[in-house]
Structure 1
Amino acid sequence: MANNKEVSILLIEDDDIDAKAVQRVVKKLKLTNPIIRATNGAEALEILRNKEVIAKPYIIFLDLNMPIMGGLEFLKNIRKDEYLRDSIIFVLTTSAADEDRVAAYSENIAGYIVKSDVQGEFDKVLKMLDYYWHIVRLPDL
């Protein structure tokens, strides 16, 4: 196991049903990773800047369509922040629009997942991420 640190998950999701689905799968798979939830990008930035709430290493699940600060605006802000710009971010969204995918990848995301593509099989997404954070060497910060 290359990465022995506990990896937290920051779930940036405004939809309660989708957030509960993620939490149910985490519980079902018996993953012990702490999950912190933000309901928009502005709230997420505030959480990330408070190192007592969430410390590195962490992985972010980001929805794109949210009120106050959407996912694409969040990505632009996080990549400008000296401390946060190396964050590992997976977009998890309803948007299958090519322009959203291109915009997100231009901000160096790790992956783009359309919710309807994994409907009912979200456990496969979390299993993939579980393998990811156990195999990939994350920086010691």
Structure 2
Amino acid sequence: MSDFSEQQKQLKIQKGIRQAEDFLVTWIQDALDNKKSYGDLEESQFRNLVRVSDTTESTEVIKNFLRYQVGRDKKWGRGKESLAEKIIDDINTKIKERAKKIANEAKTEDFNSILLELTRRYLGYGARYLKYKREGEVNT
């Protein structure tokens, strides 16, 4: 495959990821707005999740870390209605579907790296929004 066609694929992937950002922000905000789904979740705990996502090439590792956190304490919620399960569900459904769409439009087999990048952004936006929920929203 020529370098030019590979560059075009990468440009299409990056464009698709940028176009998905509004969805990603909305999805994680919806999850975090449901305060009943989690306890007194601290920013540092959410940032640990973001750090895990930045150090792996696997969304399964991210989901495993979330389940581990649920087992450790109630800050991530419990059961099927927990924030952790909502995030896992979003990764398995909404984010995965968006990644498939981007991969198909770019005509690439690089689905997993697209899924991982979307997941990382989703979680990063979540860390920012949680900061707002814990600090900014209270003070407005």
TM-score calculated relative to the size of structure 1:
0.26
Q: Which of the pair is proportionally richer in strand?
A: 1
Bigger-Rg structure (1/2): 2
TM-score calculated relative to the size of structure 2:
0.26
Q: Which of the pair is proportionally richer in helix?
A: 2
Query: Which one has more relative contact order, counting CA pairs under 8 Å at least 6 apart?
Result: 2
